Amino acid sequence: MARLLYQGHSSIRIISSNGKVCYIDPFAGEGYELPADLVLITHEHYDHNAIDILSLNERTITIRSKDSLKNGVYYSFDELGFHIEAMEAYNSFHERDQCVGYLITVDGITIYHAGDTGPTEMMKTLGERNIDYALLPIDGHFTMTPEVATKCCDELIKPKHLIPIHMHPGLLWDWKQDMKVTSPTAMLVKPGDEILL
């Protein structure tokens, strides 16, 4: 069974049932001791692309936003048992042609890491994708407010579970901000918490 560790901010580690380790937006928290098999970067802001904290080798596969989005085309990848689809991510702080989110399927579980974004056109298609876990940013300045994220979750994405992320520019996690998310699908997941998918 796959496992997801929330490291804090937007940083996530997923370990598949066959032991492959995928990091998404490495930057915050702990849990980087396992060598990376796969690294996904949603965009090149410093708080999402700290590759230097990872243990990499010649076989590590790194997929950045520039690999995932070219000339307006969003690409898909199949690597190490992970099916990865790049998705739109943009707002006034994040250029549409430089940022992506990722829809990841591993061990039959689908996870949507939205990256730094506001509501997007592609979100309107996600309600049909049977998403198990949606990770949405809620800081309310550089990304969505908790209220907007709740609406995107409940009306557009319709996941089985919502995990709020990216809550405060200077904190790993913000309890007060998390509590503003009112979706009935929301989970309370703190940095250092690992869940079975």
Residue 62 CB coordination number (10 Å): 15
Confidence of residue 20 (pLDDT cuts 50, 70, 90): very high
- Token output for 151: 């609406």
Number of domains in the chain: 1
* Confidence at residue 169, expressed as pLDDT on a 0 to 100 scale: 75
Tell me the pLDDT tens digit for each residue of 104-162.
999 999 999 999 999 999 999 999 999 999 999 999 989 999 999 999 999 999 999 99
- How many other CB atoms are found less than 10 A from the CB of residue 22? 27
Report the side by side order of strands in the sheet with 133-137.
Answer: 76-79, 82-88, 100-106, 109-113, 133-137, 161-165
CATH number at residue 81: 3.60.15.10
Pair of tokens at residue 107: 């061990």
CA 165/CA 6 separation, integer angstroms:
9
The domain in which residue 72 lies consists of 3-196
